[in-house]
Structure 1
Amino acid sequence: MSRKLATAAGALLAVVATMFTGPPAAQAAEPAAGFHVRDGRLLDANGNDFVMRGVNHAHAWYTARTGQALSDTKALGANSARIVLSTGDRWTKNDSADVAKVVSQCKANRLVCVLEAHDTTGYGEQAGAISLSDAVDYWIEVQDALKGQEKYVILNLGNEPHGNVGYTAWTADTTNAITRLRAAGFTHTLMADAPAWGQDWTFTMRDNAPGVFAADPQRNVVFSVHMYGVFDTAAEVRDYLGRFVARRLPIVVGEFGHDHSDGNPDEDAILATTRELDLGYLGWSWSGNGGGVEYLDLAADFDASRLTTWGRRLFEGPDGIKQTSREASVYGSPGGDDTRAPTAPGRPTASDVTSTGARLAWAAATDDTGVTAYDVVRVDGTRETPVTTTAATAVTLTGLAPATAHIFAVYARDAAGNRSPRSATVSVTTTDGPATGGCAVSYHLDEWSGGFNASVDIRNTGTRDITGWQLDFAFPGGQTLNSSWNAKVVQQGNQLRATPEPWTGTIPAGGTVSFGLNGSSTGGNGVPASFTLNGTACSRI
């Protein structure tokens, strides 16, 4: 969790990520028949999709509470639990016997166990925090408790392994930790927490995740971001998670809350987006928080009958655990012993095509236990981007770019989480969009030595909605684009072109769409002289 505190017997609860050095003289093992990653998805030992729907539990401080906590969260619908362990560097060590007991308790409650080394929290900034290399030493020490548990256990290398200082070492440190664990014979799925107190506001994990994933000889790494005050808008949540999905990299929200001292996270957007993208989440935390963040307790005083406002939201609210959780098929849950995937849906057909939408329909897939959902994806070469999920065999898509060829396909899923082969694809070419009418643009700079942020507002001054927009402008000179949010921005020379993300695709008549960008500069910055929206010059605000 990002700078949040929890206490045990009045102690400060800080979260730590660990690093490991120098692998022992052991040959890397072949992947075991357990959890594994394929095409950006986390699959269980049966080859079925597994989407985490669970909570964090502070076992290191509340060891006597763990059995009941796991039983209670399971009864409320959770399919997984992230368990806080201590390496012994900052708190009492959870030794091999205790780790084996925790794994046994998870299995008894049919929960997937995510084990994390907490003493690494805020390394480089938090006093006493240990490195990821030190955390690897701990995992090797307790390895006997983990062998043969690959079907049920995921290893979270270390909690929030860097603070806001030294985060640039995350890539090398995480790669080295993974390499050492593989050399030591670990074949588990490994989970890597983001730096910057887990929130990755520096985009270090986001931008370096492909290289870290490729460095694992087993390609069996899941990335974890913690969403607190940094993620206080739906746009930020969707942009961050969507970038991983677009690159076919597995990502989960390993921690999040409904409020925090560093800002107010948008928990509704986190829940909705993870549901739309079929990504896992683990809420912080079951009970026992202190130090001013008691509001993060899901249950008051570990009492499942006294769920807090946050607990009711996570377990019982829209897109919450009860509504979306499915038990891992390795436990043989209802439908879970079914490992046969549905047949592929029929090739979609398109109708009612407009400039911004189309209706898709397809022949139903077949399955022994029945199909529960169809996933519509956008296909771009070998990349797929989730578009929507429906229980019906037809769906109306909106927000498409006009005068553009869009390629779609459909998957079927059954109650056990089995996913079918992909349907044949269909190409939908939308019609020309309406004329833009009038437009006005504001461009606000926030500068510092060598860099800047810019906030851009596009106002539709016409009488018709603008859909599928394209904004062209130019830097005054000497500026380099680093990143953007709420729009896709590309640079060629001094010329820039911005096009929308799915959630900023329409500018309503009389309304405004905003996006931002970050850049670096060798000299002073300036405001672009002119802006053109879909070929029409805009006035300045």
Structure 2
Amino acid sequence: MTTTLTGASGPRQRSAVRTWLTAGLTALTVALAGIWTLLPASAQTEGGFTIDGTQLIDANGNPFIMRGSTHPDVWYQGEWDSYGEISDLGANTIRVVLGSGQRDWGITTPDRVADIVAECKAQRVICVLEVHDTTGYGEESGAATLDEAVDFWEGVYDVLAGEEAYILVNIGNEPIGNTDAGQWTQATIDAIERMRDIGFEHTLVVDAPNWGQDWQQVMLANAPQVFAADSDANTLFSIHMYQVYGTAQSVVDYFDAFEAMDLPLIVGEYAYTHQGETVAWETIQAEAQARGIGWIGWSYSGNSDPILDQFLNFDPSQITTAGEAIFESQYGIVNTAERASVFGDDPDPTDPTDPPTTDEPTEPVEGDCSAAITVVNDWGSGWQGRVDVTASEGALEGWRLTWSWPAGQAVSSSWNTTLTSSGANVTAQDVGWNGSVASGQSREAFGFIATGAAATPAVTCEAL
């Protein structure tokens, strides 16, 4: 096919707009400091993803941190194997490009959407479905309005109802260009309210204007107002980080601003370079890992500019520099992605008959609380662990864990915890939002990457 991908292309403001973050975000954060306390409490939508402060929470009550790639389904409908390939490469999320009928690539039918949902579940990945026709509205000829995108979603409502635990709805990709970006606020509010009126109980994902990059701070300034308009308090904001985010400080400032607002943010698109300019992708990954922010790289394959392809020719054996950055870097997919807990454990890759199973952590230590380490992935020279905390005697408001490695293990990175090591001894503590555990309940507390042979020593838990 000769389809041109536009999700990561089109006019972008470049060097002239880079200075806005450093000068503007700090002042904006202070100015908005009194607003976020007025936001409604997080709604609990039965059986699906919800929002808790800055965190996306899965249907089992566990934080879910996206680590994924994008598949351009509407342009490459023959590349069905891509879903399984991206999953096998380690991603826990796939952002899927759909068409609503306004652009010349056509419309994604309800039957196709149903097939995509089924395949995402079969491949054990969470899928973020997005309407791409809205890209650059107001500046891009023929682009759809957000209202037209909602028309599409209304037409596939029956397919998506009941799939709230597996599917997030990204209402419209990069829905406003650089022309009159201020229209984004009301258009987004109207779209969210209409989606709820239709009956959607899914987590809704909303992209920023300015071709997704929000260099005019419209989404940043109006995010509290938009979030408050969602009757389910279940809206997730998505920033697309390309050359506007060419410095480490620009990334940190934007993340800081959303954290100060206690509002949820993902990086819905980014690449290691874009239109010949630098993107601070290493900072995006490192800061996202430290803060528990999800991200989705653009894109798996099929770009008109092949420098954006993570793999050439939809072939998972042809990894590119972009693919190495997204998948194999220190904080890339291979080293940090964890399956959503709704899918249970990964099957044994050496045994095709081994089905997914429920986790079986090591026997916990008795006390006010208990904890256990589970091996999530083991690649020989290193491994990924997950730690679950259980409130065995009354609710927990915070926890501190300690354990000692048997021989040769060391934590190289961790997330959602404050972790320190001294020789073989490790201490890990909650980071606030994940300190609360209801009496008699368990929660996935944090994860880590370790070197050496995989091990599950006994963990001592102290209630704080």
TM-score (norm 1): 0.62
**Separation (CA, whole Å) in 1 of partners of 2:268 and 2:106:** 23
Whether 2:419 is the aligned partner of 1:390: answer yes
Tell me if structure 1 keeps the 8 A contact 2:92–2:337. Answer: yes
Alignment correspondent of 2:5: 13
Alignment correspondent of 1:436: none
Partner secondary structure for residue 140 of structure 1 = helix
Match of 1:226 among 206, 225, 240: 240
Partner secondary structure for residue 130 of structure 1 = coil
Which structure has the highest strand share of the two? 1
Identity of aligned residues (%): 40
- CA shift digits 1:121-161 (9 cap, x unpaired): 00000000011010000000111110111110000010000
Where structure 1 has 5 or more consecutive residues not aligned to the other structure, the ranges are 1-8, 17-28, 347-363, 379-385, 397-406, 426-541
Instruction: Summarize the Cα distance change of 1:294–1:50 in structure 2 as closer, same or farther, 3 Å threshold.
Output: same
> Which is worse superposed, 257-266 or 98-107?
257-266
**Separation (CA, whole Å) in 1 of partners of 2:266 and 2:433:** 23
Tell me if structure 2 keeps the 8 A contact 1:365–1:412. Answer: no
Whether 2:160 is the aligned partner of 1:146: answer yes
Tell me if structure 2 keeps the 8 A contact 1:15–1:119. Answer: no
**Separation (CA, whole Å) in 1 of partners of 2:48 and 2:209:** 27
Alignment correspondent of 1:419: 445
**Separation (CA, whole Å) in 2 of partners of 1:145 and 1:411:** 33
Whether 2:338 is the aligned partner of 1:315: answer no
Instruction: Summarize the Cα distance change of 1:149–1:113 in structure 2 as closer, same or farther, 3 Å threshold.
Output: same
Residue type of the partner of 1:109? Q
**Separation (CA, whole Å) in 2 of partners of 1:89 and 1:244:** 33
Alignment correspondent of 1:268: 282
Whether 2:392 is the aligned partner of 1:366: answer no
Query: Cα offset for 1:10?
Result: 2.2
Which structure has the highest helix share of the two? 2
After superposition, residues 184-199 of structure 1 pair within 5 angstroms as 184-199=198-213
**Separation (CA, whole Å) in 2 of partners of 1:79 and 1:336:** 17
Which has the larger Rg? 1
Tell me if structure 2 keeps the 8 A contact 1:413–1:419. Answer: no
Alignment correspondent of 1:431: none
Partner secondary structure for residue 206 of structure 2 = strand
Whether 2:64 is the aligned partner of 1:75: answer no
CA RMSD for the aligned pairs? 3.4
Match of 1:86 among 99, 113, 125: 99
Match of 2:224 among 176, 197, 210: 210
Alignment correspondent of 2:411: none
Residue type of the partner of 1:14? T
Instruction: Summarize the Cα distance change of 1:139–1:332 in structure 2 as closer, same or farther, 3 Å threshold.
Output: same
- CA shift digits 1:337-373 (9 cap, x unpaired): 4599x99xx9xxxxxxxxxxxxxxxxx9622445846
**Separation (CA, whole Å) in 1 of partners of 2:325 and 2:3:** 28
Residue type of the partner of 1:230? V
Query: Cα offset for 1:73?
Result: 1.0
**Separation (CA, whole Å) in 1 of partners of 2:388 and 2:343:** 24
> Of the two structures, which has the highest relative contact order with CA contacts closer than 8 Å and spacing of 6 or more?
2
Residue type of the partner of 1:15? G
Partner secondary structure for residue 371 of structure 2 = coil
> Which is worse superposed, 203-212 or 78-87?
203-212
Partner secondary structure for residue 296 of structure 2 = strand
Query: Cα offset for 1:388?
Result: 6.2
- CA shift digits 1:455-505 (9 cap, x unpaired): xxxxxxxxxxxxxxxxxxxxxxxxxxxxxxxxxxxxxxxxxxxxxxxxxxx
Partner secondary structure for residue 230 of structure 1 = helix
Alignment correspondent of 1:130: 144
Alignment correspondent of 1:353: none
Whether 2:260 is the aligned partner of 1:246: answer yes
Alignment correspondent of 1:23: none
- CA shift digits 1:65-104 (9 cap, x unpaired): 0x31111111111001000000011021101000001111
Tell me if structure 1 keeps the 8 A contact 2:44–2:50. Answer: no
Query: Cα offset for 1:246?
Result: 2.3
Where structure 2 has 5 or more consecutive residues not aligned to the other structure, the ranges are 9-42, 347-355, 375-384, 390-397, 399-414, 447-460
- CA shift digits 1:13-35 (9 cap, x unpaired): 3239xxxxxxxxxxxx9834111
**Separation (CA, whole Å) in 2 of partners of 1:30 and 1:145:** 22
Match of 2:180 among 127, 144, 166: 166
TM-score (norm 2): 0.72
